[in-house]
Amino acid sequence: MSSVTKHITEYKLAKEILTRGHDILLDPRAQVMKTFTQHGTTTVFEHCVSVAKFSLLMAYYLERIFKIKVDRDSLVRAALLHDYFLYDWHDKTIPGHNIHGFTHPRTAMLNADRDFGLNAIEKDIISKHMFPLTFMPPRYRESVLVTLADKWCALCETFKVDVSSYIIYRVNCRIEMANNGLQDEGAAAEQAI
């Protein structure tokens, strides 16, 4: 597969997320994010998949129109882990609940590095994704993309606008198939990209 596809579709975005992020998506530790609510009725897991989708979509246009290269592996992996803080931030009994917006990027980055190992770009993406709340601005273009995608997805989720249900469906199908020892075309394409 070439680095810049001719046309972008929901199918291609889903396949690329499944390909580049399959080890994270299929890991039970990442699936714990399904047990926590993010915005509205959206789980943290669904939110992260949605952020990965819009980060990739912006990367596609950045590469296609402006010929600016994007590290898509780091982009997808960090988008999938950017809210890997692993607690219910709505729970008012949790110490620091009121400053979750400021503190969770670093918590997520430390958790993700511990469980999956992160490179420098992935660390920057996760720890700066709440900019300007994080004060330090994003260092890499990939960090800027995830920061923007995160805000867009949060807005859509808060106002219950469905923008990612197909990709979330595909990801859940892939997880279900993996749990049953099956492969779909997304897994078969892992060697092709």
Residues near Fe ion (CB under 5 A): 83, 150
**Cα separation, 115 vs 29, whole angstroms:** 8
Residue number with CB closer to Fe ion (81 or 121):
81
User: Shortest Cβ distance from residue 153 to Fe ion (Å)?
Assistant: 7
Q: Amino acid letter at 73?
A: D
Residue 178 makes CB contacts below 8 A (sequence gap 6+) with 26, 187
Q: What is the dihedral of CA 124, 72, 70, 78, to 10 degrees?
A: -10
Residue number with CB closer to Fe ion (16 or 150):
150
> 10 Å Cβ neighbour count for 190?
14
CB 79 within 8 A of CB 118: no
Residue number with CB closer to Fe ion (70 or 81):
81
Residue number with CB closer to Fe ion (122 or 150):
150
User: Shortest Cβ distance from residue 39 to Fe ion (Å)?
Assistant: 9
User: Shortest Cβ distance from residue 170 to Fe ion (Å)?
Assistant: 20
181: left (phi > 0), else alpha (psi -120 to 50), else beta?
A: left
User: Shortest Cβ distance from residue 43 to Fe ion (Å)?
Assistant: 12
